[in-house]
């Protein structure tokens, strides 16, 4: 493993910039990127990811920041592109571990950050948050100049940026789609991208999420029209779930409910939190105040619309509790309608399908994609990606924000255009990508990867512990306690291994006891006796049952 060189630039050599993705490259989630020029570092975003089904017990995943901690004195500033969890969710875990530097972001983005930090007891005075307009230019350190520009996405105040350095200009799109009918009427600033392309873009980092999809991504306005048509035809109570952070979608649903003479009830902690922050900062308007669930008693069913959490089938979300009859105040019944205005994040399909099936069993009507066009991605498809590439005309291209298949398809798309980039790299987290006017290559790696958050523990769970959890879930656990005095004997406790089986337990005890007695006769160390017992029992259990439970051998002297 090598680190970026600290040596001064040789006389006459072209100045170079290092782009170091620490998260979000070759994956979707936990986005964080460091730029380094000589003795200064600028950081972009600090997101989180959610665990997959095999990562048992894990609550959240945040990026590993060893590189930033090792070079903490070089960090001059931080910028945030937008307020989604995969771009700001890691900040409460990361900021306290690094020096206090200016953190720049737009109004809603910083509003959500403040709310998140306050939940962790981090006060305003402990961080340096600086609000910017999405056309503003800020200076970070000596070498970095950042100009923000607007890009449409599924949340307001979403930014791309132009990073001007002594080595050249980098354009980063941030997450985007080129929505021609954005909910807030604010279009992507394509004119600024085009002008930058004319002036010269050395390197483009662009969103690859939908690089496999042909055409254009459906506009948020079209989703709103489909939702209104659907809701207008429903007679009973309506329960709609979407991403809490999709402020545009939630605003449209609020407007639709008002036009359809339904009062809105907000259910779910994150849904209420995002709505409160957006409303306070002027990004959400309420024709009528929200109702609480216990305030709808005087209304008929067709006068109520619930906006709730649970679009990803989370076990403790409102929709899951409704589906399984565990909600304290609300019970679903025939005549109700549930709209899932979202697609499952990869890895969540099973949980979402479980909820949908349960809703069908209750007898409610369920509406979800692709059967109904009630959701649209916040990321651009091939036509939009090509538009940005054609306007930016980058010398070099780094497909970003996507799994390898998305990055590679984005790279292939770039090569089909009239003016393809001179060179494209497919990078991974931890790669040190060195770029100058003369060169573009990976020159080394730095530590990168995942840090697991489990309860109050951050980083105390590793892949070895997760493997144990998987093994225990699949094969069970067998605990053997050997007591040596006054007479050696073995006690066995098992969970998830086999049903109570006195004969098998007796055989296991016999095998374990024989290994112990032999070790004692040979006067081995107790650690070696314990290992002998472990090995003998493992071989026996595998032979007799064909299973490999997690074995825990204990010796009490």
**What radius of gyration do the chain's Cα atoms show?**
28
Q: Is 298 annotated as a binding residue?
A: no
- Residue 63 belongs to what H/E stretch? strand 60-63
Distances (CA, A) of 388 to 134, 204, 351, 410: 18, 9, 36, 12
- Catalytic residue among 71, 172, 379, 410, which? 379
- Per-residue DSSP letters for 280-310? HTTS---SSPPBPGGG-TTS-GGGEEEEES-
Phi-psi region of 293 (alpha: psi -120 to 50; beta: other; left: phi over 0): alpha
326 within 8 A of 290, measured Cβ to Cβ? no
**304-308 vs 137-140, strand pairing mode:** unpaired
Q: Is 378 annotated as a binding residue?
A: yes
Measured CA to CA, the distance from residue 113 to residue 122 in angstroms comes to 11
- 102: tokens are 């200016």
Sequence length of the chain is 557
Q: Is 489 annotated as a binding residue?
A: no
Measured CA to CA, the distance from residue 256 to residue 133 in angstroms comes to 30
- Residue 365 belongs to what H/E stretch? strand 365-367
C-alpha triplet 390, 392, 393: angle, nearest 5°: 65
How deeply is 324 buried, as exposed, middle or buried, from its count of CB atoms within 10 A (0-12, 13-18, 19+)?
middle
Measured CA to CA, the distance from residue 246 to residue 375 in angstroms comes to 11
Q: Is 376 annotated as a binding residue?
A: yes
- Fill in the DSSP letter of residue 27: B
Q: Which residues pair with 60 in a beta bridge?
A: 453
Nearest to 306 by CA among 273, 335, 337: 337
- 242: tokens are 């979407």
Q: Is 375 annotated as a binding residue?
A: yes
CA 300 vs. chain centroid, Å, equals 39
Q: Is 172 annotated as a binding residue?
A: no
385 within 8 A of 206, measured Cβ to Cβ? yes
- Residue 521 belongs to what H/E stretch? helix 502-521
Q: Is 244 annotated as a binding residue?
A: yes
Q: Is 532 annotated as a binding residue?
A: no
Q: Is 379 annotated as a binding residue?
A: yes
Q: Is 153 annotated as a binding residue?
A: yes
Measured CA to CA, the distance from residue 494 to residue 166 in angstroms comes to 64
Q: Is 294 annotated as a binding residue?
A: no
- Catalytic residue among 45, 189, 207, 431, which? 207
Q: Is 143 annotated as a binding residue?
A: no
Q: At what angle do helices 190-199 and 382-392 cross, to 10 degrees?
A: 40
Q: Is 57 annotated as a binding residue?
A: yes
207 tagged catalytic: yes
Active site amino acids: 207, 379
Binding residues for substrate: 244-246, 375-379
Binding residues for Zn(2+): 82, 84, 86-87, 153, 175, 401
Binding residues for Ca(2+): 57, 59, 454
Binding residues: 57, 59, 82, 84, 86-87, 153, 175, 244-246, 375-379, 401, 454
């Amino acid at each position: 493993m090598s680190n970026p060189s600290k040596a001064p630039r040789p006389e006459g050599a072209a100045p170079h910039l290092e782009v170091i993705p620490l998260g979000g490259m070759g994956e979707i989630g936990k986005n964080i990127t460091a730029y380094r020029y000589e003795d200064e570092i600028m950081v972009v975003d600090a997101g989180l990811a959610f665990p997959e089904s095999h990562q048992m017990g894990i609550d959240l995943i945040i990026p590993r920041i060893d590189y930033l901690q090792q070079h903490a004195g070089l960090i001059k500033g931080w910028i945030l592109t937008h307020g989604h969890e995969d771009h700001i969710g890691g900040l409460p875990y990361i900021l306290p571990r690094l020096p206090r530097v200016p953190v720049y972001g737009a109004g809603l983005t910083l509003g959500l950050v403040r709310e998140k930090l306050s939940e962790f007891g981090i006060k305003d005075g402990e961080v340096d948050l600086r609000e910017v307009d999405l056309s503003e230019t800020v200076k970070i350190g000596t070498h970095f100049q950042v100009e923000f520009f607007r890009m449409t996405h599924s949340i307001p105040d979403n930014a791309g940026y132009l990073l001007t350095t002594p080595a050249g200009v980098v354009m980063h799109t941030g997450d985007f789609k080129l929505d021609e009918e954005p909910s807030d009427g604010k279009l992507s600033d394509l004119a600024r991208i085009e002008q930058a392309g004319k002036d010269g873009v050395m390197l483009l980092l662009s969103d690859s999420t939908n690089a496999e999809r042909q055409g254009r991504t459906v506009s948020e306005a079209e989703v709103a029209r489909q939702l209104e048509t659907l809701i207008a035809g429903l007679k009973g109570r309506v329960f709609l779930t979407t991403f809490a952070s999709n402020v545009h979608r939630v605003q449209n649903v609020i407007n639709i409910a008002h036009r359809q003479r339904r009062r809105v009830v907000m259910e779910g902690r994150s849904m209420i939190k995002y709505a409160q922050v957006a409303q306070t900062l002027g990004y959400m308007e309420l024709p009528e105040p929200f109702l609480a669930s216990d305030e709808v008693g005087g209304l008929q069913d067709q006068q109520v619309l619930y906006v709730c959490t649970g679009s990803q089938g989370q076990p403790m979300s409102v929709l899951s509790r409704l589906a399984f009859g565990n909600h304290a105040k609300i019970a679903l019944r025939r005549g109700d309608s549930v709209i899932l205005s979202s697609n499952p994040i990869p890895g969540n399909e099973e949980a979402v399908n479980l909820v949908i099936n349960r809703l069908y069993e209750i007898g409610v009507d369920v509406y979800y994609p692709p059967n109904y066009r009630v959701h649209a991605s916040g990321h651009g498809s091939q036509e939009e990606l090509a538009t940005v590439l054609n306007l930016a005309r980058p010398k070099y291209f780094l497909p970003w924000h996507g799994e390898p298949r998305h990055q590679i398809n984005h790279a292939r798309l770039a090569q089909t255009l009239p003016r393809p980039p001179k060179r494209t790299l497919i990078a991974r987290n931890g790669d040190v990508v060195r770029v100058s006017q003369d060169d573009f290559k990976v020159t080394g790696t730095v530590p990168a990867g995942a840090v697991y958050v489990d309860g109050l523990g951050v980083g105390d769970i590793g892949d070895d512990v997760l493997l144990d959890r998987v093994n225990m879930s699949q094969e069970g656990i067998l605990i053997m306690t050997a007591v040596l005095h006054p007479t050696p004997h073995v006690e066995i406790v098992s969970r998830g291994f086999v049903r109570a089986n006195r004969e098998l337990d007796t055989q296991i005890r016999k095998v374990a006891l024989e290994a112990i007695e032999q070790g004692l006769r040979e006067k081995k160390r107790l650690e070696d006796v314990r290992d002998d017992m472990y090995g003998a029992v493992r071989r026996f259990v595998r032979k007799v049952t064909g299973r490999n439970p997690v074995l825990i051998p204990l010796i009490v002297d």
